[in-house]
Structure 1
Amino acid sequence: MLVLAALVAVAVGTGAFLGRDRNTPDIDGLRTWRLEPSHVTGPVDHAQSPAVGGPHAPQWLNCGVYGAPVPEENAVHSLEHGAVWVTYRPGLASADVSRLVAGLPDTFVIVSPYPGLRAPVVVSAWGAQVALRGVDDERLGEFVRFYRRGVTTLEPGGPCHGGTGAPGRE
Protein backbone atom coordinates (compact mmCIF):
# COMPACT_ATOMS: atom_id res chain seq x y z
CA MET A 1 0.00 0.00 0.00
CA LEU A 2 2.85 2.37 0.87
CA VAL A 3 4.54 1.60 -2.47
CA LEU A 4 1.30 2.35 -4.34
CA ALA A 5 0.94 5.69 -2.55
CA ALA A 6 4.54 6.57 -3.43
CA LEU A 7 3.96 5.72 -7.09
CA VAL A 8 0.84 7.88 -7.24
CA ALA A 9 2.70 10.77 -5.58
CA VAL A 10 5.52 10.51 -8.11
CA ALA A 11 3.09 10.31 -11.02
CA VAL A 12 1.18 13.39 -9.87
CA GLY A 13 4.38 15.27 -9.13
CA THR A 14 5.74 14.67 -12.61
CA GLY A 15 2.48 15.36 -14.39
CA ALA A 16 2.28 11.81 -15.72
CA PHE A 17 -0.90 11.12 -13.78
CA LEU A 18 -2.74 14.08 -15.29
CA GLY A 19 -0.89 14.18 -18.61
CA ARG A 20 -0.06 17.89 -18.25
CA ASP A 21 2.07 20.07 -16.03
CA ARG A 22 1.05 23.33 -14.38
CA ASN A 23 2.45 25.29 -17.34
CA THR A 24 0.06 23.69 -19.83
CA PRO A 25 -3.66 24.37 -19.50
CA ASP A 26 -6.26 21.88 -20.66
CA ILE A 27 -7.53 23.79 -23.70
CA ASP A 28 -8.85 21.80 -26.65
CA GLY A 29 -6.63 22.25 -29.71
CA LEU A 30 -3.74 23.84 -27.78
CA ARG A 31 -0.39 23.44 -29.53
CA THR A 32 2.84 24.15 -27.67
CA TRP A 33 6.51 24.48 -28.58
CA ARG A 34 9.76 24.95 -26.69
CA LEU A 35 11.47 27.93 -28.28
CA GLU A 36 14.65 29.77 -27.40
CA PRO A 37 14.56 33.57 -27.45
CA SER A 38 17.18 35.61 -29.28
CA HIS A 39 17.30 39.15 -30.64
CA VAL A 40 18.00 39.50 -34.35
CA THR A 41 17.78 42.24 -36.94
CA GLY A 42 15.84 41.69 -40.12
CA PRO A 43 13.04 39.33 -41.04
CA VAL A 44 12.69 35.90 -39.45
CA ASP A 45 11.18 32.81 -41.07
CA HIS A 46 9.24 31.30 -38.16
CA ALA A 47 7.97 27.72 -38.25
CA GLN A 48 4.57 28.74 -36.82
CA SER A 49 2.09 31.11 -38.40
CA PRO A 50 1.56 33.44 -36.63
CA ALA A 51 4.88 33.10 -34.84
CA VAL A 52 4.85 32.11 -31.16
CA GLY A 53 8.47 32.66 -30.18
CA GLY A 54 12.07 32.13 -31.16
CA PRO A 55 14.26 34.78 -32.78
CA HIS A 56 12.68 38.24 -32.74
CA ALA A 57 13.36 41.96 -33.03
CA PRO A 58 15.15 43.75 -30.18
CA GLN A 59 12.21 46.18 -29.90
CA TRP A 60 8.77 45.00 -28.76
CA LEU A 61 5.46 46.00 -30.31
CA ASN A 62 3.22 48.28 -28.27
CA CYS A 63 0.17 46.35 -27.19
CA GLY A 64 -3.22 47.44 -28.48
CA VAL A 65 -5.63 47.02 -31.36
CA TYR A 66 -4.27 47.40 -34.89
CA GLY A 67 -6.28 47.69 -38.10
CA ALA A 68 -3.44 46.40 -40.30
CA PRO A 69 -0.95 43.53 -40.01
CA VAL A 70 1.89 44.22 -37.57
CA PRO A 71 5.60 43.34 -37.80
CA GLU A 72 5.76 39.74 -36.62
CA GLU A 73 9.28 40.03 -35.19
CA ASN A 74 8.16 42.88 -32.90
CA ALA A 75 4.96 41.09 -31.86
CA VAL A 76 7.01 38.04 -30.83
CA HIS A 77 9.10 40.24 -28.54
CA SER A 78 5.86 41.37 -26.85
CA LEU A 79 4.94 37.71 -26.33
CA GLU A 80 8.24 37.33 -24.47
CA HIS A 81 6.98 40.08 -22.10
CA GLY A 82 3.74 38.19 -21.43
CA ALA A 83 1.45 39.63 -24.09
CA VAL A 84 -1.13 37.55 -25.93
CA TRP A 85 -1.51 38.10 -29.68
CA VAL A 86 -5.02 37.68 -31.09
CA THR A 87 -4.99 37.54 -34.87
CA TYR A 88 -7.94 37.41 -37.23
CA ARG A 89 -8.45 36.93 -40.94
CA PRO A 90 -8.41 40.18 -42.91
CA GLY A 91 -11.91 40.99 -44.06
CA LEU A 92 -13.52 39.94 -40.77
CA ALA A 93 -16.64 42.08 -40.35
CA SER A 94 -16.02 45.20 -38.26
CA ALA A 95 -18.86 44.18 -35.91
CA ASP A 96 -17.05 40.88 -35.29
CA VAL A 97 -13.74 42.67 -34.67
CA SER A 98 -15.54 44.94 -32.17
CA ARG A 99 -17.00 41.90 -30.38
CA LEU A 100 -13.59 40.26 -30.32
CA VAL A 101 -11.92 43.32 -28.78
CA ALA A 102 -14.74 43.95 -26.29
CA GLY A 103 -14.12 40.59 -24.63
CA LEU A 104 -10.39 41.15 -24.11
CA PRO A 105 -8.43 42.84 -21.31
CA ASP A 106 -7.07 46.34 -21.98
CA THR A 107 -3.47 45.44 -21.20
CA PHE A 108 -0.88 43.01 -22.57
CA VAL A 109 -3.00 42.08 -25.58
CA ILE A 110 -2.24 42.70 -29.26
CA VAL A 111 -5.08 42.39 -31.77
CA SER A 112 -4.37 42.52 -35.50
CA PRO A 113 -5.37 41.07 -38.84
CA TYR A 114 -3.03 38.40 -40.17
CA PRO A 115 -3.14 37.29 -43.82
CA GLY A 116 -3.30 33.56 -44.50
CA LEU A 117 -4.66 32.38 -41.14
CA ARG A 118 -5.78 28.74 -41.09
CA ALA A 119 -8.75 29.66 -38.84
CA PRO A 120 -10.96 32.76 -38.48
CA VAL A 121 -9.12 33.72 -35.25
CA VAL A 122 -5.83 32.44 -33.83
CA VAL A 123 -4.60 33.29 -30.33
CA SER A 124 -0.90 33.03 -29.51
CA ALA A 125 1.43 33.42 -26.54
CA TRP A 126 5.10 32.52 -26.16
CA GLY A 127 5.29 28.85 -27.17
CA ALA A 128 1.52 28.31 -27.34
CA GLN A 129 -1.30 28.72 -29.85
CA VAL A 130 -4.93 27.80 -30.46
CA ALA A 131 -6.84 28.10 -33.75
CA LEU A 132 -10.35 29.29 -32.89
CA ARG A 133 -13.66 28.75 -34.68
CA GLY A 134 -14.55 32.45 -34.47
CA VAL A 135 -14.77 35.52 -32.26
CA ASP A 136 -17.18 33.84 -29.82
CA ASP A 137 -15.07 30.72 -29.23
CA GLU A 138 -14.93 30.21 -25.44
CA ARG A 139 -11.35 28.94 -25.65
CA LEU A 140 -10.17 32.51 -26.31
CA GLY A 141 -10.99 33.59 -22.76
CA GLU A 142 -9.42 30.46 -21.26
CA PHE A 143 -6.22 31.01 -23.23
CA VAL A 144 -5.97 34.71 -22.36
CA ARG A 145 -6.61 34.08 -18.65
CA PHE A 146 -3.84 31.48 -18.50
CA TYR A 147 -1.14 32.96 -20.73
CA ARG A 148 -1.49 36.75 -20.41
CA ARG A 149 1.33 37.67 -18.02
CA GLY A 150 1.15 34.05 -16.87
CA VAL A 151 3.59 31.46 -15.58
CA THR A 152 5.15 30.95 -19.02
CA THR A 153 6.16 34.62 -19.43
CA LEU A 154 9.89 34.68 -20.18
CA GLU A 155 10.46 38.30 -19.12
CA PRO A 156 8.02 39.03 -16.28
CA GLY A 157 7.75 42.77 -15.76
CA GLY A 158 8.73 43.54 -19.35
CA PRO A 159 6.61 46.39 -20.72
CA CYS A 160 4.02 46.37 -23.45
CA HIS A 161 4.34 50.12 -24.10
CA GLY A 162 7.25 52.35 -25.04
CA GLY A 163 8.15 50.07 -27.94
CA THR A 164 7.33 50.44 -31.59
CA GLY A 165 3.96 50.87 -33.29
CA ALA A 166 0.71 52.50 -32.30
CA PRO A 167 -1.59 52.75 -30.39
CA GLY A 168 0.75 52.03 -27.49
CA ARG A 169 -1.79 50.78 -24.99
CA GLU A 170 -0.29 48.66 -22.18
Structure 2
Amino acid sequence: MAKPQSAKSQVKKEAKQKAQQERAETEKAKRRQGLGGRIGLYAAIAAVLLVGGYWGYGKMTEKVSWTSVAILPSPHVPLGMPHPPYNSDPPTSGPHAPGLAQWGIHAEPVPKEMQVHNLEDGGVAINYSCQDCPDLVKRLTAIAERYDRIILAPYTDMDRKIALTAWGSIDKFDEFDEARIVKFIKAHIGIDHHGAGG
Protein backbone atom coordinates (compact mmCIF):
# COMPACT_ATOMS: atom_id res chain seq x y z
CA MET A 1 0.00 0.00 0.00
CA ALA A 2 2.91 2.30 0.56
CA LYS A 3 3.78 2.19 -3.14
CA PRO A 4 0.62 3.89 -4.41
CA GLN A 5 1.03 6.66 -1.87
CA SER A 6 4.60 7.07 -2.95
CA ALA A 7 3.51 7.22 -6.58
CA LYS A 8 0.82 9.73 -5.64
CA SER A 9 3.37 11.72 -3.70
CA GLN A 10 5.73 11.57 -6.67
CA VAL A 11 3.01 12.86 -9.02
CA LYS A 12 2.24 15.71 -6.59
CA LYS A 13 5.90 16.54 -6.34
CA GLU A 14 6.29 16.59 -10.13
CA ALA A 15 3.15 18.73 -10.53
CA LYS A 16 4.49 21.18 -7.94
CA GLN A 17 7.87 21.31 -9.68
CA LYS A 18 6.17 21.80 -13.05
CA ALA A 19 4.05 24.65 -11.61
CA GLN A 20 7.16 26.26 -10.11
CA GLN A 21 8.95 25.89 -13.42
CA GLU A 22 6.04 27.50 -15.29
CA ARG A 23 5.93 30.38 -12.81
CA ALA A 24 9.69 30.84 -13.19
CA GLU A 25 9.32 30.84 -17.00
CA THR A 26 6.45 33.33 -16.76
CA GLU A 27 8.53 35.60 -14.50
CA LYS A 28 11.49 35.36 -16.91
CA ALA A 29 9.22 36.23 -19.82
CA LYS A 30 7.84 39.23 -17.90
CA ARG A 31 11.36 40.42 -17.07
CA ARG A 32 12.42 40.01 -20.69
CA GLN A 33 9.33 41.91 -21.80
CA GLY A 34 10.01 44.67 -19.25
CA LEU A 35 13.65 44.81 -20.30
CA GLY A 36 12.60 44.96 -23.94
CA GLY A 37 10.22 47.83 -23.13
CA ARG A 38 12.92 49.70 -21.25
CA ILE A 39 15.40 49.14 -24.08
CA GLY A 40 12.80 50.44 -26.52
CA LEU A 41 12.22 53.50 -24.36
CA TYR A 42 15.95 54.14 -24.01
CA ALA A 43 16.40 53.72 -27.76
CA ALA A 44 13.60 56.23 -28.41
CA ILE A 45 15.12 58.73 -25.97
CA ALA A 46 18.55 58.26 -27.55
CA ALA A 47 17.08 58.81 -31.02
CA VAL A 48 15.37 62.03 -29.90
CA LEU A 49 18.57 63.28 -28.28
CA LEU A 50 20.60 62.38 -31.35
CA VAL A 51 18.22 64.16 -33.71
CA GLY A 52 18.01 67.16 -31.34
CA GLY A 53 21.78 67.30 -31.02
CA TYR A 54 22.23 67.07 -34.77
CA TRP A 55 19.67 69.85 -35.30
CA GLY A 56 21.28 72.01 -32.59
CA TYR A 57 24.75 71.45 -34.01
CA GLY A 58 23.45 72.34 -37.45
CA LYS A 59 21.95 75.57 -36.09
CA MET A 60 25.18 76.48 -34.27
CA THR A 61 27.36 75.84 -37.31
CA GLU A 62 24.88 77.06 -39.92
CA LYS A 63 26.43 79.60 -42.24
CA VAL A 64 24.78 82.99 -42.09
CA SER A 65 25.15 85.82 -44.55
CA TRP A 66 24.97 88.65 -42.04
CA THR A 67 27.65 90.28 -39.94
CA SER A 68 27.47 91.05 -36.23
CA VAL A 69 28.19 94.66 -35.33
CA ALA A 70 29.34 95.83 -31.89
CA ILE A 71 26.49 97.34 -29.86
CA LEU A 72 27.03 101.05 -29.25
CA PRO A 73 25.80 103.02 -26.23
CA SER A 74 22.23 103.77 -27.20
CA PRO A 75 20.80 106.78 -25.39
CA HIS A 76 17.70 108.63 -26.52
CA VAL A 77 18.55 111.82 -28.39
CA PRO A 78 16.20 114.40 -29.88
CA LEU A 79 15.81 113.97 -33.63
CA GLY A 80 18.34 116.14 -35.45
CA MET A 81 20.63 116.58 -32.43
CA PRO A 82 24.32 115.79 -33.11
CA HIS A 83 25.57 112.52 -31.62
CA PRO A 84 28.55 110.15 -31.96
CA PRO A 85 28.72 108.40 -35.34
CA TYR A 86 27.22 104.97 -35.97
CA ASN A 87 29.53 102.02 -36.57
CA SER A 88 27.59 100.68 -39.56
CA ASP A 89 25.63 102.13 -42.45
CA PRO A 90 22.68 101.69 -42.13
CA PRO A 91 23.04 101.75 -38.32
CA THR A 92 22.35 98.71 -36.14
CA SER A 93 22.53 100.34 -32.68
CA GLY A 94 23.51 103.62 -31.09
CA PRO A 95 21.84 106.92 -30.26
CA HIS A 96 18.20 106.95 -31.26
CA ALA A 97 15.08 109.07 -31.17
CA PRO A 98 12.66 108.62 -28.27
CA GLY A 99 9.86 107.79 -30.73
CA LEU A 100 9.45 104.95 -33.23
CA ALA A 101 9.01 105.19 -36.95
CA GLN A 102 5.72 103.75 -38.15
CA TRP A 103 6.09 100.06 -39.01
CA GLY A 104 5.53 99.14 -42.64
CA ILE A 105 6.31 100.49 -46.08
CA HIS A 106 7.78 103.98 -46.49
CA ALA A 107 8.18 105.88 -49.74
CA GLU A 108 10.73 108.26 -48.18
CA PRO A 109 13.88 107.49 -46.16
CA VAL A 110 13.31 107.00 -42.43
CA PRO A 111 15.63 109.05 -40.19
CA LYS A 112 18.43 106.81 -38.91
CA GLU A 113 17.72 107.73 -35.29
CA MET A 114 14.11 106.56 -35.60
CA GLN A 115 15.02 103.40 -37.48
CA VAL A 116 17.50 102.43 -34.74
CA HIS A 117 14.76 102.71 -32.10
CA ASN A 118 12.61 100.32 -34.16
CA LEU A 119 15.51 97.85 -34.26
CA GLU A 120 15.86 98.09 -30.48
CA ASP A 121 12.19 97.16 -30.20
CA GLY A 122 12.74 93.92 -32.14
CA GLY A 123 12.25 95.27 -35.62
CA VAL A 124 14.05 94.59 -38.87
CA ALA A 125 14.73 97.26 -41.47
CA ILE A 126 14.93 96.54 -45.17
CA ASN A 127 16.56 99.44 -46.97
CA TYR A 128 17.15 99.78 -50.68
CA SER A 129 19.22 102.20 -52.70
CA CYS A 130 18.39 102.29 -56.36
CA GLN A 131 17.00 104.69 -58.94
CA ASP A 132 13.89 103.64 -60.83
CA CYS A 133 13.63 100.05 -59.53
CA PRO A 134 9.88 99.43 -59.14
CA ASP A 135 10.25 95.66 -59.61
CA LEU A 136 12.71 95.40 -56.70
CA VAL A 137 10.50 97.58 -54.48
CA LYS A 138 7.46 95.45 -55.36
CA ARG A 139 9.29 92.22 -54.44
CA LEU A 140 10.63 93.70 -51.18
CA THR A 141 7.15 95.01 -50.35
CA ALA A 142 5.66 91.53 -50.82
CA ILE A 143 8.07 90.20 -48.18
CA ALA A 144 7.72 93.16 -45.79
CA GLU A 145 3.92 92.88 -45.77
CA ARG A 146 4.14 89.38 -44.23
CA TYR A 147 5.56 90.69 -40.94
CA ASP A 148 4.49 93.16 -38.24
CA ARG A 149 7.81 94.66 -37.14
CA ILE A 150 9.34 95.61 -40.48
CA ILE A 151 10.39 98.91 -41.94
CA LEU A 152 10.90 98.99 -45.69
CA ALA A 153 12.30 102.29 -46.93
CA PRO A 154 14.67 103.80 -49.45
CA TYR A 155 18.10 104.74 -48.10
CA THR A 156 20.23 107.36 -49.80
CA ASP A 157 23.94 106.94 -50.52
CA MET A 158 24.13 103.28 -49.52
CA ASP A 159 27.09 101.33 -50.95
CA ARG A 160 24.93 98.28 -51.89
CA LYS A 161 21.46 97.95 -53.41
CA ILE A 162 19.84 96.15 -50.43
CA ALA A 163 20.60 96.28 -46.70
CA LEU A 164 18.95 94.31 -43.92
CA THR A 165 19.49 95.55 -40.38
CA ALA A 166 18.51 94.32 -36.95
CA TRP A 167 19.91 95.18 -33.52
CA GLY A 168 23.63 94.39 -33.84
CA SER A 169 23.37 92.68 -37.26
CA ILE A 170 23.64 93.77 -40.88
CA ASP A 171 23.54 92.09 -44.29
CA LYS A 172 24.17 93.99 -47.52
CA PHE A 173 23.96 92.71 -51.09
CA ASP A 174 23.03 93.75 -54.63
CA GLU A 175 20.79 91.03 -56.03
CA PHE A 176 17.29 90.26 -54.70
CA ASP A 177 17.38 87.01 -52.70
CA GLU A 178 14.08 86.15 -51.01
CA ALA A 179 15.44 83.19 -49.03
CA ARG A 180 18.29 85.31 -47.66
CA ILE A 181 15.93 88.12 -46.64
CA VAL A 182 13.41 85.79 -44.98
CA LYS A 183 16.17 83.94 -43.11
CA PHE A 184 17.48 87.24 -41.73
CA ILE A 185 14.01 88.38 -40.69
CA LYS A 186 13.16 85.10 -38.97
CA ALA A 187 16.47 85.12 -37.07
CA HIS A 188 16.03 88.65 -35.71
CA ILE A 189 12.44 89.84 -35.64
CA GLY A 190 10.58 90.23 -32.36
CA ILE A 191 13.58 90.21 -30.01
CA ASP A 192 13.38 93.15 -27.62
CA HIS A 193 16.79 94.67 -26.93
CA HIS A 194 16.00 97.18 -24.18
CA GLY A 195 18.68 96.80 -21.56
CA ALA A 196 21.23 95.75 -24.21
CA GLY A 197 22.83 99.14 -24.49
CA GLY A 198 19.63 101.26 -24.63
Q: 2:148 aligns with which of 89, 107, 131?
A: 107
Is contact 1:43-1:73 (8 Å) kept?
no
Q: 2:115 aligns with which of 75, 80, 89?
A: 75
Give the secondary-structure state (helix, strand or coil) at the position aligned to 1:36.
coil
1:47 corresponding residue in structure 2? 87
TM-score, length-scaled by structure 2: 0.61
Give the secondary-structure state (helix, strand or coil) at the position aligned to 1:38.
coil
2:74 corresponding residue in structure 1? 37
Q: 2:65 aligns with which of 16, 24, 28?
A: 28
Is contact 2:69-2:87 (8 Å) kept?
no
AA matched with 1:133: D
TM-aligned CA deviation for residue 138 of structure 1? 2.8
Query: How many correspondences in the alignment?
Result: 134
Deviates more, 1:102-111 or 1:39-48: 39-48
TM-aligned CA deviation for residue 55 of structure 1? 0.9
Unpaired segments ≥5 residues, structure 1? 1-17, 157-170
Give the secondary-structure state (helix, strand or coil) at the position aligned to 1:122.
strand
RMSD between aligned residues:
2.4
Give the Cα separation in 2 of the matches to 1:139 and 1:28. Answer: 8
TM-score, length-scaled by structure 1: 0.70
Q: 1:138 aligns with which of 176, 179, 182?
A: 179
Is contact 2:66-2:169 (8 Å) kept?
no
Identity of matched residues, %: 27
AA matched with 1:121: I
Give the Cα separation in 2 of the matches to 1:59 and 1:43. Answer: 17
Alignment of 1:154 with 2:193, yes or no, is yes
Look at both structures and tell me which one has the larger radius of gyration over its CA atoms: 2
Alignment CA distance shift 1:67-1:28 (3 Å): same
Q: 1:60 aligns with which of 76, 91, 100?
A: 100
Unpaired segments ≥5 residues, structure 2? 1-56
Alignment of 1:126 with 2:163, yes or no, is no
Is contact 2:90-2:165 (8 Å) kept?
yes
TM-aligned CA deviation for residue 50 of structure 1? 0.7
Give the secondary-structure state (helix, strand or coil) at the position aligned to 2:127.
strand
Is contact 1:56-1:73 (8 Å) kept?
yes
Show structure 1 runs of 4+ deviating over 4 A.
none
Higher helix share: 2
Higher strand share: 1
